[in-house]
């Protein structure tokens, strides 16, 4: 292995941004392109597949073999026209992602599985996905050439520090820091913890999700309700209720666009997560139920963002992608043949407040 970088997108500055100044890169491996498949070929390949096989095949989106590099499996996801990949550490090792490129480079983690991440290597973007031992993969989309992957290892001569550090999208502080009063103003412990935990994860996207959750799930007291509705009926501004919308509106366009890009990434990840749930259907298995619940929570995270984007009249791509997710995944959830009986306080609240929320249709309250 040598430290040769053979890509203009892996110049020293790029490597520095990815935290890879003290790492050795392997030779580039071209990520296979998608190829067209007929419906019959797709059916045959699907019938042959087991849940362990990672090749991707779809009658609409073609097929693409998985590749293994540096101990990580990389395969395409069942989404969109773009190239979205899932990377998984076969041994369950936690993965860390560093990204560089134009704007906010979309990637997301799997909330139920720290050894799995999703990336969308748009043109001129680069990702470093690292394992706990400092080895990993750099993925680069070279404009006009394709997507390449490089295995890397830490330079043994360098200081003992993992070359890629975990960083969440939007690491700059959100507008309000510390969290504004209206974001902490709830007297239900579980909701308070949910919101504050999300804020503590850092990043603009997580803050926006926390805002959306508080906005939707907090139950207002009688005085606030009466005052708010009286104000609305008389055409006056509503005290405090508009705070989440004003917060979102006050972000600059680039910040909102980054939130929406991250939202699209999460939708893409959800398509894949639900695909796995469908292929590995096992209603009584604890792990399957945990993964289902985690996926349903992510859908609920997106609902608040959806409302905020609608309020400012933006986020068309995110709104469309959520609508498509609801159509396809909603149908899968409706097709489950018996009660799943997930126990979850958050989704019970959602079901109570929003009868049409398909992602809350399988829950019951904790005892």
Partner 1 sequence: MRLVDAFCDIQPVGPDAPAAKRDRLQTAARILLQELEDLARREMRSSDFSAADRDTVVQTVAYRLVKAGPRGRREGDPQRDGEVRGWLSIAVRNASRDLIRRRARFAWPTMDRDSRQPADPVERLRAGEPTDDTPLAEQVDRRRAEALLEQSRRTLYALTVPAIVARKNGRSPGAGDRFKETIDELRRAVRDSLSIEDLARQSLEADGMDVDPSKIAARRAALDKRFQRAREACLEAIDADLRGGAIDEDQVRATRLVLQHELYVQQRSDGVVAKARRKPRTDMRGRRTAGVREIKDNSGG
Considering only residues 186-215, where is the footprint of partner 1 by CB under 8 A?
Answer: 215
> Is 222 among the residues that bind partner 1 (CB under 8 A)?
yes
Element (H, E) at 23: strand 23-25
Footprint on residues 98-117 left by partner 1 (CB under 8 A): none
Could you tell me which of 85, 122, 100 has the C-alpha nearest to residue 272?
85
Residue 240: which region, alpha, beta or left (left: phi > 0; alpha: psi -120 to 50)? left
Residue among 135, 241, 261, 265 that touches partner 1 (CB under 8 A): 241
Indicate the residue among 144 and 337 with the shorter CB distance to partner 1. 337
Residues in contact with partner 1, total (CB under 8 A)? 65
The interface mask with partner 1, positions 271-300, x = CB under 8 A, is -------x--xxxxx---------------
Q: How far is CA 359 from CA 330, 334, 341, 346, in A?
A: 8, 10, 13, 11
For 102, the token pair is 């134009």
Instruction: Tell me which stretch binds partner 1 (CB under 8 A): 53-61, 111-119, 138-146, 316-324.
Output: 316-324
Q: Min. distance of Cβ 315 from partner 1 in angstroms? A: 10
| Residues 212, 305 contacting (CB under 8 angstroms) | yes
Single out the residue of 37, 121, 52, 114 nearest to residue 276, CA to CA: 52
| One of 236, 254, 287, 316 touching partner 1 (CB under 8 A) | 236
Q: Which residue in the set 156, 160, 178, 356 belongs to the binding site for partner 1 (CB under 8 A)?
A: 356
Distance (Å, whole) CA 225 – CA 126: 48
- Piece of the chain touching partner 1 by CB under 8 A; list 79-87, 90-98, 175-183, 223-231: 223-231
Task: Classify 69 as helix, strand or coil.
Answer: strand
Q: Contacts with partner 1 in 325-354 (CB under 8 A)?
A: 326-327, 330-332, 334-339, 341, 348, 351-354
Q: Does 92 bind partner 1 (CB under 8 A)?
A: no
Query: Does residue 317 belong to the site contacting partner 1 (CB under 8 A)?
Result: no
Residue 203 CB, shortest distance to partner 1, in Å, is: 23
Please tell me the distance from the alpha carbon of residue 340 to that of residue 356, in angstroms, as a whole number: 18
Report whether 22 contacts 158 (CB < 8 A): yes
> Parallel, antiparallel, or unpaired: how do β-strands 363-364 and 342-343 relate?
parallel
For partner 1, which residue of 17, 180, 307, 345 counts as binding (CB under 8 A)?
307
- Looking at 232, 254, 287, 290, which residue binds partner 1 (CB under 8 A)? 232
Nearer to partner 1 among residue 93 and residue 300 (C-beta): 300
Count of CB atoms situated within 10 Å of the CB of 332: 14
> Cβ closer to partner 1: 34 or 324?
324
Q: Min. distance of Cβ 268 from partner 1 in angstroms?
A: 17
| Of 123 and 316, CB closest to partner 1 | 316
Q: Does 216 bind partner 1 (CB under 8 A)?
A: yes
CB under 8 A: which stretch of 9-17, 197-205, 225-233, 259-267 binds partner 1?
225-233
Query: How long is the chain?
Result: 367
Query: What is the secondary structure of 219-274 as a DSSP string?
Result: PPPHHHHHHHHHHHHTTPPPTTTTHHHHHHHHS-HHHHHHHHHHHHHHHHHHHHHH
Handedness of CA 317, 321, 323, 324 (dihedral sign): positive
Element counts in the chain: helices (H) and strands (E): 11, 15
Which residues contribute to the site for partner 1 (CB under 8 A)? 39-40, 43, 215-216, 218, 220, 222, 224-226, 228-229, 231-238, 241-242, 245-246, 249, 278, 281-285, 304, 306-307, 310-311, 319, 322-324, 326-327, 330-332, 334-339, 341, 348, 351-356, 358, 361-362, 364-365
């Amino acid at each position: 292995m040598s430290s040769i970088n053979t890509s203009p997108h892996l110049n020293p500055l790029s490597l520095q941004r990815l935290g890879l100044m003290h790492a050795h890169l392997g030779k580039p491996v071209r990520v296979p392109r998608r190829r067209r498949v007929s419906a019959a070929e797709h059916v045959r390949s699907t019938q042959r597949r087991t849940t362990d096989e990672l090749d991707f095949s779809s009658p609409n989106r073609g097929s693409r073999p998985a590749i293994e590099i540096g101990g990580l499996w990389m395969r395409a996801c069942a989404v969109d026209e773009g190239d979205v990949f899932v990377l998984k550490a076969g041994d369950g090792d936690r993965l860390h992602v560093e990204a560089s490129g134009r704007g906010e480079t979309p990637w997301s983690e799997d909330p139920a599985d720290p050894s799995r991440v999703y990336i969308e290597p748009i043109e001129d973007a680069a990702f470093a996905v690292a394992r706990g031992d400092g080895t990993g993969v750099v993925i680069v989309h070279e404009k006009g050439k394709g997507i390449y992957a490089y295995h890397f290892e830490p330079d043994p001569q360098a200081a003992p520090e993992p070359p890629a550090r975990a960083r969440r999208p939007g690491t700059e502080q959100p507008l309000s820091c510390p969290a504004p009063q209206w974001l902490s103003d709830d007297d239900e412990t579980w909701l308070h913890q949910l919101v504050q935990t999300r804020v503590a994860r850092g990043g603009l996207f997580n803050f926006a999700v926390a805002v959306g959750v508080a906005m939707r799930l907090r139950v207002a007291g009688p005085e606030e309700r009466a005052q708010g509705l009286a104000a609305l009926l008389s055409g006056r501004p509503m005290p405090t209720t508009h705070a989440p919308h004003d917060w979102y509106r006050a972000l600059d366009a680039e910040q909102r666009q980054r939130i929406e890009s991250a939202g699209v990434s999460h939708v893409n990840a959800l398509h894949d997560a639900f695909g796995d749930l469908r292929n590995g259907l096992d209603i009584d298995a604890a792990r399957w139920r945990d993964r289902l619940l985690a996926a349903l929570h992510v859908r609920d995270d997106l609902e608040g963002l959806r409302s905020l984007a609608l309020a400012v009249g933006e986020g068309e791509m995110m709104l469309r992608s959520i609508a498509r997710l609801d159509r396809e995944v909603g149908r899968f959830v409706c097709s489950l043949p018996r009660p799943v009986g997930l126990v979850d306080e958050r989704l019970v609240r959602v079901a109570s407040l929003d009868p049409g929320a398909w992602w809350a249709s399988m829950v019951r309250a904790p005892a």
